[in-house]
Every structure is written in C-alpha cells, then in structure tokens.
Amino acid sequence: MSNKRYSRNSVTKMLGKSVAGFATNFLWLKPKPKATSRLAMVMDLDKCIGCHACTVACKSENGVALGGSRTRVLEQEHGTYPETSRFFLSMMCNHCEDAPCITACPNDAIFKKDNGIVDINKDKCKSFGICMGACPYGAIYINPDSAPDETVKDYPARTVAKADKCNFCEHRIAEGLEPACSNTCPTDARIFGDLADPDSKVSKLVNKQQLKGLLEEEGTKPQVFYKGGMPEIFKAGKAINRRS
Amino acid sequence: MKRREFVQIAAIGSAAIFQSCDGEKPPVMEVTNPLPDGPRKEIASTCWQCVSRCSIKAFTTGDRLVKIEGNPNSLRNEGKVCAKGQAGISQMYNPDRVLYPLRRIGERGSGKWERISWETALDLLIEGGEIEGKKVKGLRTLREEGNPEKFLFHYGRMVGTDYTININYFLSAYGSSSIGNHDSICNRAGSIASRLSGDVRSSHRFEEVDIILNFGRSLLDAGIDHIPIIRQVARMRERGVKIYTFDVRLSNTAAKSDKWVPVKPGTDLAVVLAMSHVLLKKGIYNKEEIEDTANITVDELVAHLANYTPEWAESISGVPATLIEEIATEYGNAKSGACTSFRGAFMHFNGVQAQRAIYMLDVIAGNIGSTVRQTGRPNWNYPFPRPDKPAAKLDIFNGDKGQFAVPDGSVSHQILTQIKKGNGTPEVYMVYCHNPVYANGNSRENTEVYKDTEKIPFLVAVDVGISETSELADLILPDASFLERWTAEGKGTSPGIPEYYIRQPVHEPLGESRNFVDMACDIANRLDLNLGFNSAKEFVEAACNSTEGLKQAGGFEYMVEHGVWHDKEAPIRNVKRNKVQLFSQRLKDQGFPGLPSWMAHPDHENLKEDQLVMTTYKVNVHTHSRTQNCKWLMEIYHENPAWINTATAERLGIEDDDWIKLESSVGELVTKAKVTQGVHPRAISISHHLGHWAFGEYASGKKSAVNSENDSDSKLVWWKDHGMHPNVIIPNLGDPIAGSLCTNDTVVSVKKIS
C-alpha cells in the first residue's frame, strides 16, 4: 500500500518508539516507561462537508458489520428560515486519557496502550455492554458479527458478539499508513498524528489554537480535538451519545 | 396505513419464482466479516460508481476484494475517493447480482426466470427464437431484412472505450444509429444552452476565482466531478473565497456556503436577469470586453434588461431586491468570479433560458472573456479502422414533431412515449446500464410500454442486477461490474492537463458474468462484422501502446501498474473563443426570444392553498439509480422523507414524521414529512435515489429472483424503510426548448393522511 500523505518515516519512528516501550512493559524488566507517543486526531468541522467518505472507509477497512460503526457523522439543522444552517459532527472513539470504558469493564478487557490507543482485548470481552453505557460519546458498539468465542458456552447469544470500536486503524499505522478515515477525507478535515511530537500537524493545531475535545467536563481527557464551528447543542452532548 | 398500498406500481415483480433448468447456480463468493487476514495486493483502476470516475486502488486479500481507496497518482482526485466509490465493492458482491443469463418465463414482469447458458442466450439474441410462445426476430434477421435500425441500443452510463467499441465500432458495423442515451434526464438543458450560446464553457479553475455564485448545483454533495471539485472548493475556502448558493433547499453545499439564498422553484432565471440589470445600471462592466466577447452591444443589453429590476425579480423569486443588488455588486466588483449551476437551475421549464442568462451574467461581469483555457481532454489513439456511422435510425429520439425547439436527436426520456405512439418499433430493444422505468418521469407509463410485447417484441437488458427495467426484459445478460472490466478513458484536470485512465479487472468477472464489450465482439464475429479486434482488453492494450506520450511512457504496461497517466509538462493554452451567442438566431427562428428572457411556468402562476412545487435532489452517498445494492450506502441513507417548510407544514396541519399524500397530474405518492427550516415554503423536496421496488434486498427489502445469500450482512439489515421514489409522480414532459425532463417543476397537492 502506498498512501503516503502521512509520512512513512514519521509513523515508523513513532511506532518504533511505542513498540519498544510496549515490549519492555510486557517483560516487566523495567518500571513502566513514560509513554512516548500520544496518537490523536483533529476534526476540522469547518472543513467537514458531511460526505461520509470516512464512514465507508472505516466500514470496509475494518470489516464492520451492518448495525455497527466505529465512526459516524452526525448532522443538525439550526436557525429559522431563511437564516438556516446545518452542522456536521464527525464522531469516533476519543481514546481518552481517563477513559470511563476502561474503568467500567468488569473483565479488564479495555486498556490503554503506550501509544495512546484505547483498545479492546476481544479474548477478555464478555459482551456485557457496560462500556457502551459508560462512554459519553457513544463510540462503542457490540459487533454482531465478530468471531465466535468458544469460552462462553453458557451464553450462546453472546458468543458471536464482542465490543468493538475505533483503534486508529493500528494495523495500518504499523504499515506506515494513516487511518482509513483520514486517508480518504476529501477535504482533509481529519488530521491524524502524534501529540508527543511537537512538530506534528496535530500538535501545532492543538497547541496553537487551544483546541478542545468533546464533553471535556466529563473529565475524560479526550484525544480527539475539534476545530471550527460547533453549535452549543452538540457541545451539550444531546446528540452525541446516541447510536442511530 | 402502509404507504406501499398507495403505490400500485410497487407491486410489479414482487413475486419471484426462480426455476433453474440449465444446471446448478455457479459458485458464489461468500462475503463475511471480519475480513480475511493476510497481505493485501494492490491494483490500480478507475471508479465507475458515478460519472466523476476517479482513479482508484483496489486491494485484494487472496481472492477477495477488501478495499477501494483513491489513487494518489491522479491529479484529479489526489488519492481521495468518496463514500460511493469505496462502497463499489458491493457492486461485485451484493447478493442480488445477476451471475448468469436469464430468460423470462411467464408474463413480462412476472418475476419468473429460467437460467440459460451463454450459448442459448446469444443464439436467442442473434438468431431470434421463441419467448413464451411468441416468435421474436434476432439481430441477424433484422440485418438481413434490411432493417438494422430496428435494433435499438439504449444506454445510461457508458464512457471511454466502452462507448467507443459499443457505439462507434459494434453498432456502426452492424448498421444501426438507433441509439438512446440518458441526456434528457441529466444535463441536457445545460448542454443545449451551451450549444446555443456558441459552445460556451467556463474556463475557470475554482481555485483561481475570488467569488462563486452557485445556482442549484450540489457542488459538495454530488458534482459531476465529485471529489476533484470538493478538493478545489476546499482549497478555495482556505483562501477565504465566498460562495453564495441559490437553491430551494439547504443542501450540504448551501450549508457550507457563506450564504444560502432560497429561491422559489424555477425562478433562478429571474434572479440572474436582475443581477445583470444591476451590473449594467451601476456601470460595473467593461464595454469593450463585452462586445469583444459576445455577439451583442452593451446598448442592446441595457435595453433588453431594463425591466428586469431587482424589485421585479423579488416579486417572482422571493429573493429580496436588496440582497440581489448586494450580491450582484460584490460579484461584479470581484477581481475574478464564476457562476456555476446544475439541475437546480436548469431542470425546469425555463432551464435553457436560465443557463443562458447565467452565461450573460458572466459575460457582463467579465468572467467569460474573449479567451478561454483549453480544457485539455485526453486524445486516445484507437488503431483500428472505424466503420462509417450508419444512416439507418428510428425516428423516436426527438419527441413529437415540433414539440421541442432544439431536440437534436437525444430527447431520451421520450423514447418510450414515441414507441407507445407507434412512431417506431424496435424489434430488438437493448437496455444497457440504464434503468429508464425508474430514472425517467412517470414510472407507471414506462412500465406499461415495456410490458407491451407488440410495441417492443424483444426486450434485452444488460445489467449487473435485476432493476425496475431489467425485471421487464425477456432476456437478461449479466454484465461485468466496473471492477471486472477493461476500459480506456480519461478526463481533463483542473490545471488543464489531460489525464488518461484505464479500468482493469481487480477480479475475474464473478459467476458467468461477462463484460458486454467482449460480448459485442462475439456477436460481431458471429455476424461476420469484422471489427478488427476480439476483446475489450485487446482494444485497450492497443490504445495504450499507440497513443502518443503514453506510448513513450510505457504504454499498456505502465497503465496496468499505475492506472493513470498524465504529462505534467503538457502545455496549458489559452485560446481565443468563438463569440458567445448571447443572441441566438436559432431560438429566435423557433419563436423564442433570441436573448435570455424571463419565461414563467404556466402551472406555477396560481397555486392553490394546498399546492406546492415538488423538486428532487441528489445526496452525497448515492447515484441516481445504480448504488442501491451497496449496503454501506443504504445503511447511511435509506429514508427520504419529503422536506416541507415549517410555516407551510403548519398551514397544512402537517407535523414532522406525519404521513402525507402528494398528488400530481400523473399519480399519487404517500410518504413521510420532514418539517424543516431548510426548504423554500413553496417547495416540497424529495431525493431521487430510493423507493426501489426491484434490485434486491438492500435496495428494496425484497430479495431478487437470483439472490445468492452469500453475504453475512444480509441478516443484519436493521432498517425497514427503503424510501419513496418521486419520479413515479413526475410527468414525463420536457422543457419546450431542449426537451429536458423538468424534474423540479411538478405541481403537487399535499395533504396529511391519518
């Protein structure tokens, strides 16, 4: 694959660091090292045109079954005719620093990686769905089509369904590619990168423009940052924690 | 109350009984989630989900196509591809794909089929035979009898070498010029306006202008150059370029513009005329430049436009006079601007005049000047002698005599009406990649004509699925999807450099499906037509290896690897353009005003209390009628309630989500209301992608006769609503000049039903 908008060098460098960190962490030879990368996404809502290229990119890249979604684009109408406007809001897992889903999972199936990705260990997931309720962003769904889990024989209905959500397309990052959604965004409204790298585009955007995440008052420290016009009603989360 | 009860047309073909007589169904690719693990192989090709045709890269794991991305080698789409393009995977794998030839058993449209072999199918097509006890003539007989024009070929989407081979070689060698297209349900009014005005083409790169006036074009939703235009507009926005969008509806494009200016349906023309008036009155123009560019003097323009004041335009369009003046002034004073338009402006009774008025405004504003940048279209070489274009042609492509001023042989949505009237009988009527029943107006009448075995003795559909039209056919020939075929084609780019593409199979055609172009070569061989080549691939390869520039760059081999080629050093030229014919003698001779002038729609003058004008529109995740078996797109967009303005709804006692009935001169439609502040109070607006009654489970909720149950997603479809199709109640009329279908003019009475 050769989608090189996101420079292969910088990703490999970033990934190399996080892989190294991961290995030492796993071997318990040393105290847990300081995380060396903080993967993040900036959503430029001024640029987003609500085209759903990201939605479909994600579905095909990750084989997401119908009924599930790792990323969504919400839209809302505002104002009174003829001064009417419409806003789009791209949504995905916020890979929170203090992720409520991690705390909520009774099976310790959700964990944060050193590169910042919040991921789900499918072997540990028992599909209780508590994470779904805990996430203020509606970012998690139970995948009706994930591989069967032979270990949960008492709950056959649950054997084919596991919690699932965005993992920044980690398999693509490992190949030096950017996530499927930002890769195809026709207006470059999704910008992916490493906040630990002060020279990255996301760092510059987030730091210079003091960008905020959604529902920061929940204390989740989201790692998806929003730029541009967002009506209050989105901020209040009324439309956000709802899976259509 | 179920709304389908109201639309009897939906009952056609719902009962499908499949009988297999020529053996078992072929093996079908199982499509399951999650995706197979393993390395991905990359194949460069070209999209064909919509007319934009972006350059793509397809990725396969083992034998399975898993992903479509944009090809970064293209200057046009720059590595990006839209939702539709990526969902193209379903064009191959959707469970309702036709994978073997089918012959009708039972009445036309009864939904009963038998599977036949290719040999039987081609025998039937070429030699004729019997269909349900009725003898039909084949292609050989028509030719031998000296009536090759009785072979009617009616296509919807066909480009590049697909077009060249099918039309310029196969049909020409066969001897028929009875060729229908889909022009008059698309941009015909716009292209005729351009032709009447001296082949005017805008020479702008959006990236170079400072202001855009957009009349009814969904630039960011569904442009004919979808991703390339989005990229250009995005860069333009970064420069702070202003966009004003005039539209009856708050499209996503309007929402992302600096201002949405709602207009009464069909009155863009009045607004544009008044803007020209403002520029002349305020002296914002360059006399010499106008007179150098157009075939008219400024004095004549001033006299012609004298009465088209902003106040007059306000009384017609509802757009405030002050706003018209303000925007016109800003437009005229900008260093460089561009008007852009599409169906919102010209798929109206007065559409040709509206588009011509837009050219007039741009001439006055100095944005259409005396020179034009050459668009730089690709110049393929096809090294095979081309047969002469035959003269034999049925007389069914112009509507009635005198019905349209400038029919020019492609009033395509009137073909069925003409057949119904007995003005021509196609003994063999082949529909190729088109769905006229659904795509034209008045679907019910279209269906009736197609069902008439006297008027259309032998109806053949070449299709990837069983569409509303294919389901009425006698014979369905399974075409290869766009991911399984060879085509050479190309487009101009924003910088003016031509770009060359190939479309190559990312997978062998599934089942027994075949690229129709290969089929045409076989048919030609059996009829001894001697085309000089035997397959699409052979033709494409020869074209790549003999086209100047590309040949030197590596020819076919290069294209197979990269999918796209352009010469970055290609010269970009500005040339003197022909005089813009703001005054059209041809229109004058036909009894129309020679200069762009106001034309009121007679039906829109005195609307009753409950009457609104129904307009239709496109959304960003569907093409008109070819993407509805694409599950991911249907999951995103499967409901299309009628947009009705909040104040209008209140007046009519309609609340959000109420069931409403729309009644036009040709039928009724029951659908849900979406009460919104985002549509003009005089309009009711419905998108035109949904409400399929054929195609299959994703499109219509009903499995087709050939459903192969190969997709694990089938059982996970969570939506029950499949929308309603507005064309069912659009009269199949045309505008008086170009004969273009007036999709945005239908007067409907609207009432709430309980």
Start-to-end C-alpha separation, chain A: 33
Cβ distance of A86 and B678 shorter than 8 Å: yes
Contact check, Cβ <8 Å, B677/A80: yes
Instruction: Look at strands B611-617 and A110-112 and give their pairing.
Output: unpaired
Report the residue of A47, A66, A145, A178 to disrupt the B interface, i.e. the one with the largest count of B CBs within 10 Å.
A66
Partners of B338 in beta bridges: B212
- Locate B161 and state its tokens: 């070498």
Residue B308: pLDDT band with limits 50, 70, 90: very high
Got the DSSP string for B100-123?
S-EEE-SSTTS-EEEE--HHHHHH
The length of chain A in residues reads 244
Give B205-248 pLDDT, tens digit per residue.
Answer: 788 899 999 999 999 999 889 999 999 999 999 999 999 999 99
**Contact between chains at B34 and A146 (C-beta distance less than 8 A):** yes
In the stretch 715-744 of chain B, residues with CB closer than 8 A to chain A read: 716-718
* Res A132 pLDDT > 70: yes
Q: Do A5 and B79 touch (CB under 8 A)?
A: yes
Average pLDDT of span B462-475: 97
Beta-carbon contacts of residue B299 (< 8 Å; ≥ 6 apart):
none
* Helix, coil or strand: residue B455: coil
Mutation pick from B50, B619, B631, B677 vs chain A, by most beta carbons of A within 10 Å, is B677
Q: List pLDDT tens digits, range A198-241.
A: 999 999 999 999 999 988 888 999 999 999 876 665 555 555 54
Per-residue pLDDT, A3: 36
Q: Indicate the pLDDT class of residue B95, thresholds 50, 70 and 90.
A: very high
| A49/B220 Cβ within 8 A | yes
Q: What is the pLDDT of residues B372-427, one digit of tens each?
A: 877 778 999 999 999 999 999 999 999 999 999 999 989 999 999 999 999 999 99
Cis peptide before A82 (omega within 30 of 0): yes
A148 touches chain B (CB under 8 A): no
A-proximal residues of B, 89-128, CB under 8 Å: 89
Q: What is the nearest CA distance from A173 to chain B, expressed in angstroms?
A: 15
* CA separation for the pair A143, B637 (Å, rounded): 21
Q: Is B284 exposed, middle or buried (0-12, 13-18, 19+ CB in 10 A)?
A: middle
| DSSP H or E segment with residue B299 | helix B298-305
Alpha-carbon span A81 to B395, nearest angstrom: 48
A220's tokens:
């989740």
Burial class (CB in 10 A: 0-12, 13-18, 19+), A198: exposed
What pLDDT score does A35 carry?
54
* Residue in the block written with tokens 């009654």: B693
CA angle B531, B532, B537 (to 5 degrees): 95
Give yes or no for A55 touching B (CB within 8 A): yes
In chain B, the domains with their CATH numbers are 3-9+602-752 (2.40.40.20), 190-372 (3.40.228.10)
pLDDT tens for each residue of B6-21: 333 333 333 343 444 4
pLDDT tens figures, B700-724: 999 999 999 888 888 889 999 999 9
Distance CA B356, CA B370 (A): 17
Distance of alpha carbon B456 from alpha carbon B461, whole angstroms = 13
Give the pLDDT score at B559.
Answer: 98
Tell which residue, B502, B699, B501, B508, has the closest CA to residue B87: B699
Contact list, B40 vs chain A (CB under 8 Å): 1
Q: Which residues of B touch A144 (CB under 8 A)?
A: 716
Q: Across the A/B interface, how many CB contacts are shorter than 8 Å?
A: 139
Q: Nearest-CA residue of chain A relative to B40?
A: A1
Q: Residues 669-688, chain B: which have Cβ within 8 Å of A? A: 676-678, 681
- Residue ranges and CATH numbers for the domains of chain A are 8-235 (3.30.70.20)
Mean pLDDT, rounded, for B282-311: 97
Sequence letter at residue B316: I
Residue with the two structure tokens 């195809």:
A184
* pLDDT, tens digit (0-9, with 9 covering 90-100), for B133-146: 999 999 999 999 99
Does residue A33 register a pLDDT over 80?
no
pTM for the model stands at: 0.92
pLDDT at B541 over 80: yes
Who among B42, B256, B635 is closest to A49 (CB)?
A: B256
Calculated CA dihedral for residues B102, B106, B109, B110, nearest 10 degrees: -110
**The predicted structure's pLDDT at residue A145:** 62
- In chain B, the percentage of residues whose pLDDT exceeds 70 is 96
**Mean pLDDT, rounded, of chain A:** 79
Inter-CA distances, A207 with A36, B67, B368, Å: 18, 35, 45
Cross-chain residue pair B713–A145, CB shorter than 8 Å: yes
The residue in chain A having the minimum alpha-carbon distance to the alpha carbon of residue B319 is A82
Task: Give the tens place of pLDDT for each residue, A171-187.
Answer: 999 999 999 999 999 99
Which chain B positions have a beta carbon within 8 Å of A52's beta carbon?
Answer: 83, 620-621, 636
Q: Does B647 touch chain A (CB under 8 A)?
A: yes
Count of Cβ atoms closer than 10 Å to residue B423 Cβ: 17
Q: How many CA atoms lie within 13 A of A6 on its CB side?
A: 31
Could you give the ipTM of this predicted complex?
Answer: 0.94
CB–CB of B677 and A79 under 8 A?
A: yes
- pLDDT tens digit sequence for B654-686: 999 999 999 999 999 999 999 999 999 999 999
What are the pLDDT digits (tens) for B546-587? 999 999 999 999 999 999 999 988 888 888 888 999 999 999
Would you say residue B451 has pLDDT above 60?
Answer: yes
Q: Which of residues 35-64 of B touch A (CB under 8 A)?
A: 35, 40, 42, 57, 59
Per-residue pLDDT tens over the stretch A1-22: 333 333 333 333 333 333 333 3
| pLDDT given at position A23 | 35
Give which of A86, A146, A183 to mutate to test B binding, by max B Cβ within 10 Å: A86
CB A38 within 8 A of CB A207: no
**pLDDT of the residue at A18:** 37
CB pair distance less than 8 Å for A56 and B42: no
Helical residues (DSSP H) of B398-554, grouped into ranges? 415-420, 436-439, 443-451, 516-526, 536-546, 550-553
Q: How far is A87 from chain B (nearest CA, A)?
A: 8
The pLDDT of A137-153, averaged and rounded, is 68
Mean residue pLDDT across chain B: 93
B483-514 residue pLDDT tens:
999 999 999 888 888 999 999 999 999 999 99
* Beta pairing, strands B683-687 & B611-617: parallel
| Number of alpha carbons in the 13 Å side-chain half-sphere of residue B358 | 32
Mean pLDDT of B122-149: 97
Asked if the peptide bond before residue B34 counts as cis, ω within 30 degrees of 0, the response is yes
